[in-house]
Amino acid sequence: MSEDRSIGGRRSWFEKITQAFAHEPKNREELLELLRDAHDNELLDGDALSIVEGAIQVADLQARDIMVPRSQVISIKASMTVQELLPIVIEAAHSRYPVIGENLDEVLGVLLTKDLLPLILQENYRSAELKELVRPATFVPESKRLNVLLREFRDNHNHMAIVIDEYGGVAGLVTIEDVLEQIVGDIEDEHDIEDDSWIRQLPNGDYLVKGLTPIEQLNELFDGHFSNEEFDTVAGLVTSLFGYLPKRNESTEIDGFRLRVLNADNRRIHLLRMTKLED
Between the alpha carbon of residue 201 and those of residues 98, 167, 208, 209, the distances in Å are 30, 44, 6, 9
CA distance 19 to 162: 48
Q: What angle do CA 68, 70, 73 make, to 5 degrees?
A: 65
List the chain pLDDT tens, one digit each, 279 residues: 444 444 444 445 445 445 544 566 677 677 777 777 777 877 777 777 777 777 777 777 889 888 888 888 899 999 888 888 888 888 787 889 999 998 999 999 999 988 887 777 776 666 667 777 899 999 999 999 999 999 999 998 889 999 999 889 999 999 998 888 877 766 555 455 444 567 887 767 788 888 888 888 888 888 777 777 788 889 898 999 998 988 877 889 988 888 988 877 767 788 888 888 876
- Topology agreement, domain 64-184 and domain 199-276: no
CA distance 178 to 60: 15
3-state SS class at 104: coil
Pick the CATH number of 64-184 from 3.40.50.300, 3.10.580.10, 2.40.50.100, 1.10.3720.10: 3.10.580.10
Stated as kind and residue range, the H or E segment containing 208 is: strand 207-210
| Domain definitions of the chain by residue range | 2-44, 64-184, 199-276
* 205 Cβ contact partners less than 8 Å away, ≥ 6 residues apart: 276
For the whole model, what pTM was predicted?
0.57
Contact 227, 211 (CB under 8 A): no
Nearest to 248 by CA among 114, 145, 94: 94
For domain 199-276, give the CATH number.
3.30.465.10
pLDDT, tens only, 192-203: 544 456 788 776
Q: What angle do CA 31, 34, 40 make, to 5 degrees?
A: 145
CA distance 166 to 176: 22
pLDDT, tens only, 156-191: 888 999 999 988 999 999 999 888 887 776 655 545
